[in-house]
C-alpha cells in the first residue's frame, strides 16, 4: 500500500514509518526537520522510503507531494507539540496544528485518499477531567493553546468526513514514550529522566511530583495507527496505557530499572509548577478496544527497560 506520513522523521512518526516499511508498504515522508531528525529515518530511507523536506503549512508543497505519491492511506503526525511554546505563541501553534491539518486534508481529499489517521492528544484536550478514566465524550477543557489547536484539527477531520466523505479517525494519545523520544512536550519527561539516569544529572520536577500521567509505549501507539488505518471507525479514540502514574512513581520505576544496570538516579530537584499543565490524567481506552481490538501491551517498567537497553 502507498502511504504518506507527515512528521515521519519525528519520534512517533519514524517508529510508524519503520513498521510500515517492515510490512511492505511504500512510504513517503513529509517533514520539515524542525524537530524531526534525519537519522531517525536512516533504515527506512535505505529500504526505499522517500523523504520530502516540506512544511505542512505550505499547501502547494503538500498538494504536489500527494499528487506524486497517490497514497491510499495518510498518517498525519506533523504538529507543534510543545505545550509551553503554545502558551507563549498560540498563533504559531494554530498555524501548524490547524492550518497544517487543513492542508493535509485538502490534499488527501483532492487525491482520493482512502483513509486518513490523525494524531491528537488526550490529556491536552480533557484538561483536569472530572471523570477518571476519561472517555472520549468527556467535556473538552484544554488548559493550553496546544490542546485547543488539536481539538480544532479534530473538528476539521470530522468535517471532511461529513462534507466530502473522506474516511478519517483521530487518535487521542496519552503520554507517549519510547526509543527516539525527544525532550519536547510534557511526554518528553521520560526521555529527560533517562538522560539524567545515564549522565548522573539531577532530574527536575515541576510541582510536587504528584501530578499524574497516562504513559503509553510508542510500540502500542504504532499498533493503534496500523489498526486504525485498516478500519472504518470515525471520531476520536483514546490510545493510552489506561493507568494513572505520578511523576514520583515514574522516578521510582526508573530508579529500579537503572539499578539493575548499576545506575543510580539522583534525587529530584523540585521547581514551581508550570502554567497550562494537567494535574491528573488517565484515559478510558474501552472504545479503542471495542472498535479496533486494540489494547496496550507494554507496561511502563518493560518500556523503561527497552529504552535503557537501547541507550546502554
Q: pLDDT-derived band of residue 311, with 50, 70 and 90 as boundaries?
A: confident
Tell whether the model's pLDDT for residue 97 goes beyond 60. Answer: yes
What per-residue confidence (pLDDT) applies to 183?
60
Grid cell of 144 as nine digits: 493550553
- Could you tell me if residue 17 is inside a domain? yes
Distances (CA, A) of 145 to 14, 127, 159, 219, 277: 26, 11, 21, 28, 11
Q: pLDDT-derived band of residue 278, with 50, 70 and 90 as boundaries?
A: confident
Domains held by the chain: number: 1
Mean pLDDT of 176-193: 80
- Could you tell me if residue 222 is inside a domain? yes
Q: pLDDT-derived band of residue 84, with 50, 70 and 90 as boundaries?
A: confident
What per-residue confidence (pLDDT) applies to 58?
98
CB 239 within 8 A of CB 223: no
- Could you tell me if residue 253 is inside a domain? no
Residue pLDDT, tens place only, 147-184: 999 999 999 999 999 999 999 999 999 999 999 997 65
What per-residue confidence (pLDDT) applies to 91?
98
What per-residue confidence (pLDDT) applies to 265?
95
Residue pLDDT, tens place only, 37-78: 999 999 999 999 999 999 999 999 999 999 999 999 999 999
- Could you tell me if residue 201 is inside a domain? no
What rounded mean pLDDT belongs to the chain?
Answer: 95
Q: Quote the CA–CA distance of 89 and 145 in Å, as a whole number.
A: 9
CB 213 within 8 A of CB 174: yes
Preceding peptide of 120 cis, ω within 30°: no
What is the share, in percent, of the chain residues with pLDDT greater than 90? Answer: 92
- Could you tell me if residue 165 is inside a domain? yes
Grid cell of 209 as nine digits: 511530583
Tell whether the model's pLDDT for residue 310 goes beyond 90. Answer: no
Which residue among 146, 156, 160, 173 is the active-site one? 146
What per-residue confidence (pLDDT) applies to 187?
54
The DSSP element (H or E) to which 41 belongs, if any, is none
Domain that holds residue 103: 2-175+217-241+284-297
What per-residue confidence (pLDDT) applies to 294?
98
Q: Is 156 a catalytic residue?
A: no
- Could you tell me if residue 269 is inside a domain? no
CATH number at residue 125: 3.40.50.720
- Could you tell me if residue 307 is inside a domain? no
Q: Give the orientation angle of helix 218-229 with respect to helix 11-22, to 10 degrees.
A: 60
Mean pLDDT of 106-111: 98
- Could you tell me if residue 206 is inside a domain? no
- Higher local confidence (pLDDT), 270 or 182: 270
Mean pLDDT of 119-123: 95
Amino acid at each position: 500500500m502507498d502511504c504518506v506520513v507527515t512528521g515521519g522523521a519525528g519520534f512517533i512518526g519514524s517508529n510508524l514509518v519503520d513498521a510500515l516499511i517492515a510490512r511492505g508498504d511504500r512510504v513517503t515522508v513529509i517533514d520539515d526537520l524542525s524537530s524531526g531528525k534525519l537519522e531517525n529515518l536512516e533504515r527506512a530511507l535505505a529500504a526505499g522510503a522517500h523523504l520530502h523536506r516540506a512544511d505542512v503549512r505550505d499547501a502547494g508543497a503538500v498538494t504536489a507531494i500527494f499528487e506524486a505519491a497517490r497514497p491510499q492511506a495518510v498518517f498525519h503526525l506533523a504538529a507543534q507539540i510543545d505545550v509551553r511554546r503554545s502558551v507563549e505563541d498560540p498563533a504559531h501553534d494554530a498555524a501548524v496544528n490547524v492550518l497544517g491539518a487543513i492542508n493535509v486534508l485538502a490534499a488527501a481529499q483532492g487525491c482520493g485518499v482512502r483513509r486518513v489517521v490523525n494524531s491528537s492528544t488526550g490529556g491536552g484536550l480533557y484538561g483536569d477531567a472530572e471523570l477518571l478514566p476519561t472517555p472520549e465524550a468527556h467535556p473538552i477543557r484544554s488548559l493550553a493553546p496546544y490542546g485547543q489547536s488539536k481539538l480544532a484539527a479534530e473538528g476539521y477531520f470530522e468535517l471532511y468526513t461529513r462534507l466530502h466523505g473522506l474516511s478519517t479517525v483521530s487518535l487521542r494519545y496519552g503520554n507517549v514514550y519510547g526509543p527516539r523520544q525527544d525532550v519536547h512536550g510534557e511526554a518528553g519527561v521520560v526521555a529527560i529522566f533517562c538522560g539524567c539516569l545515564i549522565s548522573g544529572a539531577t532530574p527536575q520536577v515541576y510541582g510536587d511530583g504528584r501530578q499524574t500521567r497516562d504513559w503509553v509505549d510508542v510500540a502500542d501507539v504504532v499498533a493503534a495507527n496500523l489498526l486504525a488505518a485498516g478500519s472504518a471507525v470515525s471520531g476520536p479514540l483514546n490510545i493510552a496505557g489506561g493507568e494513572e502514574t505520578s511523576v514520583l512513581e515514574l522516578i521510582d520505576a526508573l530508579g529500579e530499572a537503572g539499578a539493575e544496570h548499576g545506575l543510580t538516579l539522583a534525587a529530584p530537584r523540585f521547581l514551581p509548577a508550570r502554567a497550562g499543565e494537567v494535574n491528573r490524567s488517565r484515559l478510558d481506552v474501552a472504545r479503542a478496544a471495542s472498535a479496533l481490538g486494540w489494547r496496550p501491551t507494554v507496561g511502563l517498567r518493560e518500556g523503561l527497560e527497552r529504552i535503557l537497553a537501547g541507550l546502554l
